Amino acid sequence: DSHNPPSTDVYVNWTVGLTTANPDGSFLRHDAIGVNGAWPIAPVYAFEGDTLHLNVTNVLDEPTSIHAHGILQNGTIQYDGVSGVTQCPIPPGSSLVYTYPLRQAGTYWLHGHNLGHYVDGLRAALVVKKRDGEPVHCDDDYVISLSDWYHQKHSTLLAQYLNESNPDGKEPVPDAVLVNESQNSSLVFEPGKTYRLRFVSMSAMGMYTIWIDKHSMTIIEIDGVDVKPHTVKSFVISPAQRYSVLVTAKFSTTDTAYNYQVHSFMDPTMFDPPPTYNTITNLTLIYGKNNPLYPATNLPDHPKTDTELARELSLVKPEKILHPDTSIKLEIDFDVLSDNLNHGTFNNNTYERPYVPSYFTALTIGDEFVSNPIVYGPSTNPSVLDYMKVTEIVLDNKDTGSHPFHIHGHTFQIVEINPDHNYDPSNLTYIHKPIRRDTVTVPTGGYVVLRFVNDNPGVWFLHCHIEWHLQAGLAATLIEAPDRIEVGGARSTAGLDPDLTAQCTSQGLGVSGNAAGNTGTNLTGYVYGPQFVNNGSSPTTTTVTVGAP
Ligand SMILES: *[C@@H]1O[C@H](CO)[C@@H](O)[C@H](O)[C@H]1NC(C)=O
Ligand SMILES: [Cu+2]
């Protein structure tokens, strides 16, 4: 409506450093990562059409970077914030101003994209409101973040996880489940009003089932994409996903005499051994500050999963199923590789960060080689996509856990999702009116087929959003329309933010040439990731890995 301000520049200053945090009240951490000396980090709010200027100053003693999850960065990929893909991480003592227009209304989040920093706390919601008013009425709008919390630093836990003594790849078990980064958060509900609750999962690993005592939820948005209102009792949200739901407050005096709880249940069976504490954390909806709590209801029986919602939800702007020009099949698995560590793999190949960020390779390698996947380095799992063609990606899960996959630079149609068996081209049941989102859970022993138009030239990361699995190499790069990748009107690094190139150089990392910093396809000196050996059963060699930390 006309009350909303005209497009503006939104300036946010984040000095990223260590801070104290004790969100579960049982362990004071001095090495949490916060912003401007505080944690949790306040959400960032803007209107569609605004330009965000996120000035990040790194006062940690290790490099960092910030990604805006779900923001498509069309034309602004230099600020996508992925270390090793679109930039070298910001070194200690340096700053980078991430500058990009916010063209998409919806619920997003900002998080560290280097060294698992978001697991240590470097995460915040990013809410972009529609300038002309939301299509669905609500009286008020709240963010509810969901996260897991560890008492130890991510790097300490990572060293235990990626360790020869952990050949099964058992992930670190969180010490607490948080809602709005707390275990006793609350929101005020006024009788009869309708609220939009924006659930944002900032989880490192946990999947949460959400329900509210005696209140139903009407889903209206998934990952920044508007869907037709669909009422559910409960749903499952995976790491990095978002759901906006409408909830209408009770108005009868019998009902408003109570306060009610929003429950977030983390499935303990994902962990080995499963956590023994109560993995349900609640947020209280306050109708009156002295009201008794309405008796808590139990975990509902069939919470809606990605698999069901992909068929039950429909887009506000319906789309027909896209017909693919190219299909890329990625088999997901975990194996002990040649470095004796358990890694995530696509088609038996694990991701290893290149010496030159892949986007810089695309800008500098030259016309003759820019569309040749070899120049990006075999250990970046590169796929080259042609401009305006339709890409299909089959994520076929051969692992015994489910994995939430995210693609940077796109929302994608989910045209098939099946938890019952692995991919079989002769046995597919397509979803003809697909939804779109940017993060999808690939079920255990099942698969997902997704499709999108190659309309966003750039180098986009495709990875599991379980942060442990990303660090274990479950990632790939999409080199999209490389012949059209340019910055400041040219395919060279001259038009880049000069801080980006300076920050690579100051850390001894490459800014031009192929993945090894050479010309053409000469990969002399290229550091491959650890290799697949005999089904991982008998590792023989150890690969020394270098690159950005
Ligand atoms: C949260 O709600 C659940 C029931 O869903 C209950 O078991 C648990 O004790 C509650 N937690 C707290 C801290 O009240
Ligand atoms: Cu995973």
> From first to last of its 549 residues, what are the pLDDT tens digits of the chain?
446 778 899 999 999 999 999 999 999 999 999 999 999 999 999 999 999 999 999 999 999 999 999 999 999 999 999 999 999 999 999 999 999 999 999 999 999 999 999 999 999 999 999 988 888 899 999 999 999 999 999 999 999 999 999 999 999 999 999 999 999 999 999 999 999 999 999 999 999 999 999 999 999 999 999 999 999 999 999 999 999 999 999 999 999 999 999 999 999 999 999 999 999 999 999 999 999 999 999 999 999 999 999 999 999 999 999 999 999 999 999 999 999 999 999 999 999 999 999 999 999 999 999 999 999 999 999 999 999 999 999 999 999 999 999 999 999 999 999 999 999 999 999 999 999 999 999 999 999 999 999 999 999 999 999 999 999 999 999 999 999 999 999 999 999 999 999 999 999 999 999 999 999 999 999 999 999 997 544 444 333 333 332
Residue 299 Cα to ligand 1 middle (Å): 10
Please choose, from the candidates 84, 50, 52, the residue with its C-alpha nearest in 3D space to the C-alpha of residue 65.
84
**Predicted pLDDT of residue 535:** 55
Longest Cα–Cα distance of the chain, Å, equals 75
Contact 385, 478 (CB under 8 A): yes
C-alpha span between 375 and 459 (Å, rounded): 13
Contact 224, 106 (CB under 8 A): yes
Sheet with 95-101, side-by-side order of all strands: 29-35, 9-21, 51-58, 95-101
Contact 24, 67 (CB under 8 A): no
Q: What is the dihedral of CA 96, 100, 102, 106, to 10 degrees?
A: -40
Residue 177 Cα to ligand 1 middle (Å): 12
Residues pairing with 450 in the sheet:
393, 414
**∠ Cα 307 435 118 (to 5°):** 75
Which ligand lies nearest to the CA atom of residue 300 in the structure?
1
Q: Whose CA is nearest to atom 1 of ligand 1?
A: 282
- From the CA of 297, give the closest atom in ligand 1: 5
- Which residue among 209, 266, 280, 281 has the greatest number of ligand 1 atoms within 8 angstroms of its CB, and so is best to mutate? 280
Q: Whose CA is nearest to atom 14 of ligand 1?
A: 282
Q: What share of the chain is helix, strand, coil (3-state, %, to 5)?
A: 10, 40, 50
C-alpha span between 180 and 144 (Å, rounded): 5
Q: Whose CA is nearest to atom 8 of ligand 1?
A: 280
Which ligand lies nearest to the CA atom of residue 402 in the structure?
2
Which ligand lies nearest to the CA atom of residue 179 in the structure?
1
> What's the half-sphere exposure (Cβ side, CA atoms, 13 Å) at 499?
17
Which ligand lies nearest to the CA atom of residue 442 in the structure?
2
231-259 as b/e: b if 16+ CB within 10 A: ebbbbbbbbbbbbbbbbbbbeeeeebebb
Residue 286 Cα to ligand 2 middle (Å): 36
Residue 266 Cα to ligand 1 middle (Å): 12
Residue 128 Cα to ligand 2 middle (Å): 28
**Predicted pLDDT of residue 7:** 83
**Predicted pLDDT of residue 540:** 40
Residue 194 Cα to ligand 1 middle (Å): 25
- From the CA of 293, give the closest atom in ligand 1: 14
C-alpha span between 204 and 521 (Å, rounded): 37
C-alpha span between 17 and 34 (Å, rounded): 6
Residues pairing with 87 in the sheet:
83
Which ligand lies nearest to the CA atom of residue 278 in the structure?
1
C-alpha span between 121 and 103 (Å, rounded): 27
Q: Whose CA is nearest to atom 7 of ligand 1?
A: 280
Give φ, ψ of 207 to 5 degrees.
Answer: -105, 140
- From the CA of 298, give the closest atom in ligand 1: 5
Residue 466 Cα to ligand 2 middle (Å): 5
The set of protein residues with a Cβ atom below 6 angstroms from ligand 1 is 261, 263, 278, 280, 282, 296
**∠ Cα 409 209 113 (to 5°):** 30
**Residue 252 vs residues 100, 190, 247, 258: alpha-carbon distances, Å:** 46, 11, 15, 11
C-alpha span between 372 and 354 (Å, rounded): 16
Contact 117, 530 (CB under 8 A): no
Which H/E stretch holds residue 391?
strand 390-397
**Residue 191 vs residues 140, 387, 392: alpha-carbon distances, Å:** 12, 52, 47
- From the CA of 213, give the closest atom in ligand 1: 5
Sheet with 208-212, side-by-side order of all strands: 186-188, 280-286, 260-266, 208-212, 234-237
**Predicted pLDDT of residue 135:** 82
Sheet with 140-149, side-by-side order of all strands: 176-179, 140-149, 194-201, 242-248, 217-222, 225-232
C-alpha span between 203 and 184 (Å, rounded): 18
**Predicted pLDDT of residue 531:** 96
* Residue 151, SS3 per DSSP: coil
C-alpha span between 91 and 62 (Å, rounded): 7
Residue with the two structure tokens 């109570």: 258
Contact 280, 177 (CB under 8 A): yes
Contact 388, 494 (CB under 8 A): no
Residue 265 Cα to ligand 1 middle (Å): 9
Note if the bond before 425 is cis, omega within 30 degrees. Answer: no
Considering Cα of 303, then 226, then 406, then 120, what sign does the dihedral take?
A: negative
Residue 521 Cα to ligand 2 middle (Å): 32
